[in-house]
């Protein structure tokens, strides 16, 4: 099997592509896989770290406003199809897979014209621009949520597979749990709230949690808080302006980045985070209650749509980015954390939508499509 994977920009597009590539290589080690991206996004690092070849083209996302820059980007993106044709001539793919993003435009235009089997994987509850643009032209669309199917009417084939992720639900033995928490300076007795906003951090979440901690609202629970590498110093300076130092904080451990995310998600009693498609999937897999603060978007509220999947079944609460502050975040945490039975029920409900055998399902669909 020779597969081209079109993925660029964010981890939300690239990581599912890598997970699918890994499954293909696991099932068929002789397979050849080539990623197509740009030289500007995370794919430059992530794809090559994963051990796959990356070819780049000069493609861009289009904006609605008319400007010289936008016109140049449109011209370059259309022109990049020449490079895509050259890549196809050299690699001779049996299948083209896209995981969303503007990079899929020139790649899928060429693939469809050449009548090469094409498939999208859409992680978000609300389909992105590229998926909607090609929805009736591609051979198949694989989606992360059942809700997405109703937004893709008239397509040749839509299959719910779930979204690939590295996070798994695991039982952490008591002694191991205690060791992990002690290493962070966290006690085992009080409930644990895990806060994170992605590798770059989430400013509004950080500001709200900073306010909450400064006012000592977390007397009844403990916080493990990943600020994001770019915002760690900003948060630290905010505390120090009020003569508060990280090593003096009670019931709080603040770090730039969490490397053992699977362990901490399984240990935590409550999660506070954004609601990207992969995060939603991970929350459902570990079966934890969550407070989602969706990242807003000018074009479409995809993260809010994602969060609603869990809120509708009673597994999560949503606080909008423009509304979140230390006071309403503190109130929401307290409402959830004080009732252990509610915590458990919210977690159970989250787990009811957890996908199973995701990569296996996707691999089988790809094989069937080529056949």
Tens-place pLDDT, residues 280-316: 999 999 999 999 999 997 666 789 999 999 999 999 9
pLDDT mean across residues, the chain: 93
Domains of the chain: 2-163+356-370 (3.40.50.2000), 174-351 (3.40.50.2000)
* Torsion sign (Cα): 100, 195, 346, 283: positive
Q: Beta strands 270-273 and 2-6: pairing type?
A: unpaired
- DSSP three-state, residue 93: coil
Write down the pLDDT at residue 9. Answer: 81
Q: Which pTM value belongs to this model?
A: 0.82
pLDDT of residue 298: 67
Q: Give how far Cα 39 sits from Cα of 47, 60, 67, 104, 262, Å.
A: 11, 11, 23, 15, 30
Predicted pLDDT at 299: 63
The 270-273 sheet, strands edge to edge: 252-255, 222-226, 192-196, 270-273, 290-292, 316-318
List of the chain residues with pLDDT < 70: 62, 64, 199, 298-300
Distance, in Å, from the CA atom of 160 to the CA atom of 155, rounded to the nearest integer, reads 13
What pLDDT, on the 0 to 100 scale, is given for residue 302? 86
Q: Is the dihedral of CA 220, 329, 290, 278 positive or negative?
A: negative
């Amino acid at each position: 099997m020779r597969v081209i994977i079109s993925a660029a920009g964010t981890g939300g597009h690239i990581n599912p592509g890598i997970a699918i590539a890994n499954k293909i290589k696991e099932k068929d080690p002789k397979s050849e896989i080539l990623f197509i991206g740009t030289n500007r996004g995370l794919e430059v690092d992530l794809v090559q770290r994963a051990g796959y070849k990356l070819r780049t083209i000069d493609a861009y996302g289009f904006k609605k406003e008319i400007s010289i820059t936008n016109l140049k980007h449109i011209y370059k993106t259309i022109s990049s199809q020449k490079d895509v044709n050259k890549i196809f001539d050299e690699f001779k793919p049996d299948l083209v897979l896209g995981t969303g993003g503007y990079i899929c435009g020139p790649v899928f235009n060429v693939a469809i014209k050449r009548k090469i089997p094409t498939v999208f994987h859409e992680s978000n509850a609300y389909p992105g621009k590229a998926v909607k643009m090609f929805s009736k032209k591609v051979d198949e669309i694989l989606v992360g949520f059942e809700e997405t199917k109703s937004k893709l009417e008239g397509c040749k084939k839509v299959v719910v597979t779930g979204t690939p992720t590295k996070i798994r639900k695991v039982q952490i033995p008591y002694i191991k749990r205690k060791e992990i928490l002690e290493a962070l300076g966290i006690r085992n007795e009080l409930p644990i709230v895990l806060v994170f906003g992605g590798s770059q951090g989430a400013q509004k979440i950080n500001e709200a949690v900073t306010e909450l901690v400064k006012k000592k609202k977390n007397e009844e629970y403990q916080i493990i808080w990943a600020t994001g590498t770019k915002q760690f110093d900003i948060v630290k300076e905010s505390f120090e302006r009020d003569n508060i130092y990280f090593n003096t904080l009670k019931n709080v451990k603040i770090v730039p980045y969490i490397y053992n995310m699977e362990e901490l998600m399984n240990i935590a009693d409550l999660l506070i985070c954004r609601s990207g498609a992969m995060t939603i999937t991970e929350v459902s897999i570990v079966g934890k209650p969550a407070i989602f603060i969706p990242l807003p978007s000018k074009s479409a509220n995809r993260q809010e749509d994602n969060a609603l999947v869990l809120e509708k079944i009673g597994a999560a609460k949503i606080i909008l980015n423009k509304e979140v502050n230390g006071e309403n975040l503190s109130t929401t945490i307290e409402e959830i954390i004080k009732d252990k039975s509610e915590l458990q029920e919210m977690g159970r409900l989250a787990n009811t939508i957890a996908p199973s055998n995701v990569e296996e399902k996707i691999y089988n669909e790809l094989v069937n499509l080529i056949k």
